[in-house]
Amino acid sequence: MNVQDAEKMAALLEPSGYETTDDPGRADLILVNTCSIREKAAQKIYSQLGRFRTLKEGNPRLRIGVGGCLAQQWGDRFFRRAPYVDLVFGTHQIHRLPEMVGELERTRGRIVETGFYDRVRSLGIPAQLAAGAVGTFVTIMQGCNNFCAYCVVPHLRGREESRPLPEILREVEMLAGHGIREVTLLGQNVNSYGQTLPEKTDFAELIGAIGKVSGMERIRFTTSHPKDLSARLIACFGGVASLCEHIHLPVQSGSNRVLRRMNRGYTAAAYREKVAALRRACPGISITSDVIVGFPGEEEGDFQETLELMREIRFDNLFSFQYSEREGTAAVGMDRPVCDSVKRERLRMLQALQEEHTLEKNRACVRRLEEVLVEGPSRNGSEDMTGRTRGNRIVNFPGTTGLIGKTISVRIVEAFPHSLRGEMEERGGADVH
């Protein structure tokens, strides 16, 4: 969502004459988009801002702005540690950027805007497309009403709000017209899409509608909340041809006690049942997840239950985090905090187990024919091209740049921990569109 917001900012400032540059040394305006979901992301920001301060000493025209969740949370507290910052704008203020940047050009004063609106006005702003992009993101809803005990999102992004279906559909059609072949529908909890709209609709209906957009070969979405994963959505896998066979379904813990303290609204058994239903509807579907280790009160037995759930489900990939306390959340001050060394050790064990599973899953792809959407030259330093399978695995293979944006068939020949290697078999649906 943050990348998307940054692309929206670029699109918004274009009419005022701003262009994006990869070289901060040439910039007259640097906007830093911040995330504060975990402590680590929050810590990085000051070291980055420090580097920009040096640039400002060499270029008096340079203005520095900070947006995103951390800006929302800290507001004018930013100026105390980074007095060279000119603008702090919150998550609901993005649409006002042209106005705020205009003011910065005219005056030398500081601006802080962190108010919430009842509607997020930037929700409908299309993001600027990266040059040569094959896939892109489309925000379908923003905010969250779930209040998981560890999470800052509802506090910093505000309440859940969905974009009207026809507006999303128009954007996807426009993207398909510009040659985009894959769209990832974005929201904090896409499964509750539609609940804030006056007309009756839901996420399954949206997927069905996007599935009919000619030229949009692949649909993905993130993130799903297990408690809101409906039978109608599960039926879309297999039912909507362009919906890729992959779901990111964060479980967070395999222990009911911990899930309850986290306020997740489901049990480990209910999660297992959702996974079973997904696999019944779509055998071979890729399932990825998030886990937090060391939530307050997590005992060794709870952690073992998480490992047990992983061994049973065998996630295709897993993102794991040490719990970090976030200001303003319900978990602040909860009893029985877990010490850092235990968190570190649990994370290490969990990641070692997942590495085994990821490699096992990658190895199972060897000799299979996979449909790959070609994204561009590979980053592995060779002449290879790279793309992704429908299950979201990276595949590198010998090929030419003329294949970018095409869907091809690739025979997998080798599996690595984070990617696959393949050989092109034939041109698939490449010339259809």
User: Which stretches of the chain bind ligand SF4, using CB under 6 A?
Assistant: 144, 146-148, 151, 153-154, 188-189, 225
Question: Residue 38 binds what, of ligand 5AD, ligand SF4, none (CB under 5 to 8 Å, by partner type)?
Answer: ligand 5AD
Q: Is 266 in the site for ligand 5AD (CB under 6 A)?
A: no
Q: Name the binder of 146 from ligand 5AD, ligand SF4, none, CB < 5-8 A by kind.
A: ligand SF4
Q: Which is nearer to ligand 5AD, 254 or 428 (CB)?
A: 254
Angle between helices 268-281 and 300-313 in degrees, nearest 10: 10
Q: How far apart are CA 134 and CA 102, in angstroms?
A: 33
Q: Which residue blocks in 20-76 are alpha helix, DSSP H? A: 39-58, 69-74
Left, alpha or beta for 43 (phi > 0: left; psi -120 to 50: alpha)? Answer: alpha
Q: Measured on CA atoms in the order 48, 53, 59, 60, is the torsion positive or negative?
A: positive
* Contact flag: residue 157 with ligand 5AD (CB under 6 A): no
**Token representation of residue 199:** 């007309």
Q: 154 vs 294, which CB is nearer to ligand SF4? A: 154
Q: Could you give the dihedral angle defined by the CA atoms of residues 173, 176, 180 and 185, in that order, rounded to the nearest 10 degrees?
A: 30
Q: Which is nearer to ligand 5AD, 128 or 329 (CB)?
A: 329
Respond yes or no on whether the N-terminal peptide bond of residue 222 is cis (omega within 30° of 0). Answer: no
Interaction between residue 250 and ligand 5AD (CB under 6 A): yes
Give me 328's structure tokens.
Answer: 């303003």
CB of 368 to ligand SF4, least distance (A): 33
Cβ within 8 Å of residue 67, ≥6 positions away: 5, 9, 31, 32, 33, 34, 88, 89, 90, 91, 93, 94
Name the binder of 324 from ligand SF4, ligand 5AD, none, CB < 5-8 A by kind: ligand 5AD
CB neighbourhood size of 393 (10 A) = 23
252 touches ligand 5AD by CB under 6 A: yes
Q: Is 321 in the site for ligand 5AD (CB under 6 A)?
A: yes
Min separation Cβ 250 and ligand SF4, Å: 7
Among 323, 362, 412, 428, binds ligand 5AD (CB under 6 A): 323
Helices (H), 14-132: 39-58, 69-74, 77-81, 97-106
Selection from ligand SF4, ligand 5AD, none that 326 binds (CB < 5 to 8 A by kind) is ligand 5AD
Contact status: 151 vs ligand 5AD (CB under 6 A): yes
User: Length of the chain, please?
Assistant: 433
**Distance of closest approach, residue 160 Cβ to ligand SF4, in angstroms:** 9
Q: How far is the CB of 221 from ligand SF4 (least distance, A)?
A: 14
Binding status of residue 324 toward ligand 5AD by CB under 6 A: yes
Residue 237, interface with ligand 5AD (CB under 6 A)? no
Choose the binding region for ligand 5AD from 92-100, 268-276, 320-328, 401-409 (rule: CB under 6 A). Answer: 320-328
Q: Does 37 bind ligand 5AD (CB under 6 A)?
A: yes
The 29-34 sheet, strands edge to edge: 29-34, 63-68, 87-89, 111-113
Q: Closest CB to ligand 5AD among 189 and 386?
A: 189
Comparing CA positions, the residue from 137, 127, 188 lying closest to residue 159 is 188
Between 326 and 390, name the residue whose CB sits nearer to ligand 5AD. Answer: 326
| Site size for ligand 5AD (CB under 6 A) | 12
- Whose CB is nearest to ligand 5AD? 290
Given the complex with ligand 5AD, which of 18 and 295 has the nearer CB atom? 295
- In angstroms, what CA-CA distances link 206 with 203, 274, 351? 5, 21, 35
The residues of the shown chain that bind ligand 5AD, judged by CB under 6 A, are: 37-38, 150-151, 250, 252, 290, 292, 321, 323-324, 326
